[in-house]
Amino acid sequence: MSFGVGIIGTGGIGRDHALRIKALEPAAEVVALYNRTHERADRLASEVGGTIKVHASASALVNAPDVDAIVVSSSGDTHAEYVIEAINANKPVFCEKPLAETSADCRAIVDAEIAAGVRLVQVGFVRRYDAAYKELKETVNSGVIGEPLVCYSAHRNPVTPDGWCGEMALIDSAPHDFDIVRWLLGCEFESIKVFMGKQNSYAGDLRDPITMVLRSTGGHTVHVETSMNLGYGYDIRCEVVGERGVAALADAGLATCRAAGRAGPAIPADWRARFSDAFEGQMRSWLGAVANSRQFAGSTAWDGYMAQVVSEAAVASARSGRETSIEASTRPALYG
Ligand code: ISE
């Protein structure tokens, strides 16, 4: 069955999604675009080719009869409105992270899905599609390291993205770690304490690095570090310490010193390079689910909501300097 995809938000990652859909899935066609700055959508329409309508509003795109499924990759503050409109139109929607910028908006999305009685939302936490993370999860689940006790998740970026300041790494970077550790250990978090110690002098107004210690409902201790200005590349680390061993993302052949300007084994330049296979697998899986079963894999709206709840607790802890409890929420039946 062939179907039409509409994309809301055509900058950066929205453009990536459009080009990927074109390359990946002959049955799926990008038929509609919307962007706040229309010229940007026009430019992407020409780049993708074919017959694409550039809509005057997101609402017009969502409700267009030839749009069967929607990608939301606009700015985070617009996600809730567009995702809820897609749910109300009974159309599958792939939403980039964050699901929304506040937990209240995420909860409104979850409630809309519950009211619809069907799961239509997938959230773009791409790491769940990364081969190394999948292998790590299989290793942990196999029991070979015994019961998992402690997890270290390091999220190291080469340079602060434009316009970042304050505790933005807790809102834009760390949610990837929160989501992947929940998935990896099959746990929720019950508290978080954020530490902002010696500041990286390259970081300007951004708090960098930030480290966090979380306690999970399963009793695990989870350490998360966001570093934003290390210069040498995009370096993602994860290690799980069990009762009888350690499992980690492979780092075959990496030098012990990784630093700006030093030649060494290849470290991806940025998140696009590090997770390009995962982005492809994620889109392939979503398009396949749209075309066939509507059984969406990857992160659900509930996962998007939980990541946001943890982020907000992280910001509260950063500001108070205290360990902050994370509100226990009961997973609604829709998210099994
Ligand atoms: C960026 O917004 C992302 O989503 C990347 O995946 C993340 O690793 C990076 O830190 C963020 O800047």
Task: List, for residues 158-209, the tens digit of each pLDDT value.
Answer: 999 899 999 999 999 999 999 999 999 999 999 999 999 999 999 999 999 9
CA angle 58, 10, 108 (to 5 degrees): 45
DSSP letter for 269, please: S
* Residue with CA at minimum distance from ligand 1 atom 3: 173
CB 24 within 8 A of CB 280: yes
Lowest mean pLDDT among 71-75, 97-101, 248-252: 248-252
Residue type, 296: F
**CA-closest candidate to residue 120, choices 155, 158, 84:** 84
Rounded to whole angstroms, how far apart are CA atoms 299 and 286?
11
Q: Which atom of ligand 1 is nearest to the CA of 161?
A: 12
Atom of ligand 1 nearest to the CA of 169: 10
pLDDT at 267: 84
Q: Give the tens place of pLDDT for each residue, 207-264.
A: 999 999 999 999 999 999 999 999 988 999 999 999 999 999 976 555 566 777 765 6
Determine what percent of the chain is predicted with pLDDT higher than 70: 96
Asked if 298 and 275 count as a contact pair (C-beta separation under 8 A), the reply is: no
Q: Give the model's pLDDT for residue 263.
A: 57
Whether residue 153 has pLDDT greater than 90: yes
Q: What is the pLDDT of residue 1?
A: 64
Position 259 scores a pLDDT of 74
Tokens of 84: 């809820």
- How many C-beta atoms surround the C-beta of residue 335 within 10 A? 15
Question: Quick check: helix, strand or coil at residue 148?
Answer: strand
Starting at the edge strand found earlier in the chain, the sheet holding 69-72 runs 53-54, 28-34, 3-8, 69-72, 93-96, 121-124
Nearest ligand 1 atom to the CA of 164 is: 12
Could you tell me how many residues make up the chain?
336
Nearest-CA residue for atom 7 of ligand 1: 173
Q: Is the CB of 173 under 6 A from ligand 1?
A: yes
Mean pLDDT of all residues belonging to the chain: 94
Q: What amino acid occupies position 168?
A: M
Q: Tokens 């509930």 belong to which residue? A: 302
